[in-house]
Amino acid sequence: MKLLLRLSYLGTNFCGYQVQGDKPTVQKALNDATRSLFSCDCDITGCSRTDSGVHANDFCVTVNKKGSNSLETSIDTERIPNALNVRLPEDISVKSAAFVDEDFHPRYDVEFKEYVYLVYNGRTRDPFLSGRAMHFPRELSENDVVRMNEGAAFLVGTHDFSAFMASGSKVESTVRTMKYARVEKNGNIIKITLAADGFLYNMVRIITGTLLDVGVGKTEPRGVGDILASHDRTLAGMTAPACGLYLNSVVYPEGK
């Protein structure tokens, strides 16, 4: 059987999830930690490929011995998280471990993922949120947030999201199903939450930039629907910086 790990990490000091030579990445850190704990080279397969500076509150990987489709260990499952955490940098934490069937795939078996984007809407920067939220100094009112939610509603459902994909991306299909999309403001923090069965490259960050355009009145709420229908990236908003993006939840079908 494979080992399924759920972890969280602060992405500020990593060049994304996937191994990139000698650059610091989450996958490289996991490779080193699992090799040390299980005394063998392991294949680490992730549920997503987060970019440099992107964070995760919930990220899933499977671990199996390299060249095999399973992992054998005498270590009690409940002890594995702490045993790995002492071998990992402080900005990665394994939260749980469980064995799953050999045919389980952490990426392709996902039912849906939820991403959160955090915007710090204060007039001056907050050093404690540096690298953890986008600073957007133009004040947005509660009415502005209402408008943003009206715009976000056009995203819900099954659509071609190519207008919200980074130019030049190569994918077989740009159709995704958005389960929900909402915007909340609590004090100076604006939280944009999006859940879908899959996301295109930079999709959440481009949607965030577009919804901020709605908030400041540059785009009407119904304009989000027009942009979606256009399939034209140039009509959407800016690509918000990576620092505010969090993979927040990974959900698998019941029984997975």
Active site residues: 51
What's CA 99's distance to the chain center, in Å? 23
Residues 207, 204: Cα–Cα separation, whole Å: 5
Q: Which residue has the tokens 């990992």?
A: 88
DSSP assignment, residue 69?
A: S
Taking alpha carbons only, the member of 107, 45, 109 closest to residue 71 is 45
Residues 125, 137: Cα–Cα separation, whole Å: 8
For residues 48-77, b (16+ Cβ closer than 10 Å) or e, as one string? bebbbbbbbbbbbbbbbbeeeeebebeeee
Question: Would you state the torsion angle of the CA atoms of residues 211, 212, 213, 217, taken in this order, to the nearest 10 degrees?
Answer: 100
Residue 183 neighbours by CB distance under 10 Å: 26
Phi-psi region of 78 (alpha: psi -120 to 50; beta: other; left: phi over 0): alpha
DSSP assignment, residue 137?
A: -
Longest dimension (CA), the chain: 60
Q: For the chain, what percentages of helix, strand and coil (3-state, to nearest 5) are there?
A: 30, 30, 40
